[in-house]
Structure 1
Amino acid sequence: MAIVGPESSYAERARHADAADALASFREEFVRPMRDGTPCAYFAGNSLGLMPRRARAALEEVLTEWGDLAVEGHMHAHRPWYRYHEDLAPLLAELVGAGADEVVAMNSLTVNLHLMLASFYRPSGRRRKILLLPGEFPSDRYAAESHVRWHGLERSECIVELDHSPLEPITTAAIIETIEALGEELALVHMSAVHYLTGQFFDIPTITAAAHRVGAFAGWDLAHAIGNVPLQLHDWEVDYAVWCSYKYLNSGPGGVGGAFVHRRHAQNPATFRLAGWWGNDPATRFTMPQWFEPVPSADSWQLSNAPVLALAVHRVALEQFHRATMERLRQKSIHLTGFLEELLIELGRTYPELGLAIVTPPSSKERGAQLSVRLAASCNAMYEYLLARGIVVDVRKPDVIRIAPAPLYTSFMDVVRLCRAVEEFALRQLPHRKSSHVPTK
């Protein structure tokens, strides 16, 4: 009998966990892709989250109002478009641990990063270096490099990457040591809060405090963190953060991004920001003042009016998180990801020819809802095998499979289904495996 077969103790544990899951009803609030008439087990929410069922009705509402009201919808829609983004701020604030005045839904992640770099990368004298993670997501690197060049500086002199393998966990001590070594040459620490490739969740408050001690700003990319791990950006004294909404936030492909700016910067009129009319004080916005009068909040980083169609879907998704609460989601996520880890370790031990190694840190304090797995066997072959059986994961070449059991819609039996298919792959596709009779766990 297979290790993760339908009669295994793992399957029995999964059935009990699903029966006791206080968040189980949320699973039915999402549309899942189908394969041969059966809903897929979806583990790619760290790439693109599933569609909330209510998204369609939310879009239809705005489209209907556009047709019925046209320009009058700005002030007289059911949710007036003029202030639509303001209604989302309290929901975003819950997710990142901030005041509603410190967050704004706008643009896309990299656009927001450029806006933040314009404000917080202000090289002067020797203080001109930006510290990045090894293997940082390329868009962050491109944005940082472009701002270095914008200031007439050289990448080789200003971009510093931690000296570390991008596929190994990085200790907080190593990061702090680098920050302290750079000292007064360091202008900005910009890091992903959760590394897109390894899934490592970094110690935001400790690293932020270390940056501040040497006189540098600290900014964070929350693409893989928001809606995934607990955050307290205001209390942690983070200077800025940016994020997308199409991953764990389930707000649709290319969904509207967001930004956090700490109140001490947002309320300071001396803080430089690239200006646009939607960042102007709304009390005077339509009097068309000649000079920019920033609203004293994160809203002042807005350039243009909000994309209401995208925000309508975003609102539906954020309301789901409000009902579920991050505390309950995190509790389930720890158990769900831990269960997945347990099964994968057992499979790696039983089928060594897979060369299966989890590169995500083993501590739940250092990860969210993602396990990144390296394989000696072909990742593409494994991916295709799983996909043909209605199991969706994510491949990063050359040899990493990312598995994200998002707690809003992933069940414990989904994990069993995934690991059962991995075991079948080992038995049927790999050499030297002639029998499916292995001990039951």
Structure 2
Amino acid sequence: MSIPPLFLGRLQFIGSLAFLALFMALALALSWLLLYFKLRARTSGDAGWTLAYRFWVRIFALAFILALASGVPALLQLGTVWSGLMDRIGNVAGPLLGFAVLSVFALKSCFLGVMLFGQRRVSETVHTLSVLMVALGHLATAFWVLALVSWTQTPDGAVAVDARFQIYDWTKVVFNPALGWTVGATVLGALLAAAFLVMGITAWQALRRPLDDGERLGFRAALGLACIAVVLMAPVAAGMGKLIAHYQPAKAAAALAYWHEGDPPDLVLLGWPDAQSATNRGAWTLTGAAARWLGRNVNGHFLALENYANMQPPVALTFWSLRLVAILGILMACAAWATVLKLRRRAFDPSFLSRRWLRALSLMTFSGAALVVFGWIFTAVGLQPYAVNGAVTQSEVLGTASTRALFYGTLGYVVVYGLLSTAFVRMLFHAARYGVVPVRKVAASAS
């Protein structure tokens, strides 16, 4: 086979990372949304919140299982496809991944059984506490994973000694410059994925039958969450853009398709970056609008792609993954706030939406999920050719697996991830169609 092993390794790892990120995001956001449903049920006394909880806890369980399962291939690839990486960054990655695994077992797994199966067997206080602990466990797990991911983007607190990173300040390692923005973007993306999932499924249900109280309340909560998340995403995206310009100027130049030093810093809205001619074909631009998002050298000149010779990330994929994130974000912002305007005098009841609007929302069911996937593709692809920004290249740590083994491994992952994703979607719509079967509370044993 003539396919370069490095390309196959990258493809395999980015696919696994995107799949893991998607279901981690759904599980994280749904855990906190379920906690909100529980608290609202306790404070308002409205049984509709309990109905909303009982439906979406099943979807959360599916997302949790897939997130847990997809973490295994990603870890395996670190030891096989990128066998040299842990030798270089093991002192950093080992403890952070260890804390992530510990969070799974200490905070999530210990309470997950009570959350999923104990609602009718324990008191409401104990069950609500279990939901809280599972949500905190998801947040803790995500924090440690994101600490490692953000450290690879902006490595700090460690220095390479004999080609192996040694820690000199754990505070700087964990709270590296990219951590805050990475956590903010990840959490907001997860909330958007869950919010539009709830809204889209509810819209799909409304097209087929009258909604019950739980579905209406779930939609209202998701709509509010979506409106808040899209507003907060704008400053977080701006902060992330400035961070990338400062610490990853090659990634910034690729994202903006800025080829030549000395060219005006025009923002390319849409177009096709052509690496062979180092030009943008059919470009729509805003004059001078890219100045704040580009890196600068010591002389204050904008850093262009030509400054990085063979160390450029894949320009077209970096460029378009960011554009897709932006387009999806704009569409979701318009959909969420337009829905608020339509329902503001109808108690935000989706039953009052037109069938055309309900179809539009149902088509956007997985728009937030797509935003999460493209966001992680942008993060991973823009880091290339590095595994640790500015310090370790991917070609240095690529393992010795043959092209044939990498090809069949990648093909196997594509098939498995496709089957799992299809199963998730089918089970989601099966639950949406038939609802939740009521279960009687277990009676106390007669004394």
Structure in which a larger fraction of residues adopt helix: 2
More strand by share: 1
Q: Normalization by structure 1: what TM-score?
A: 0.23
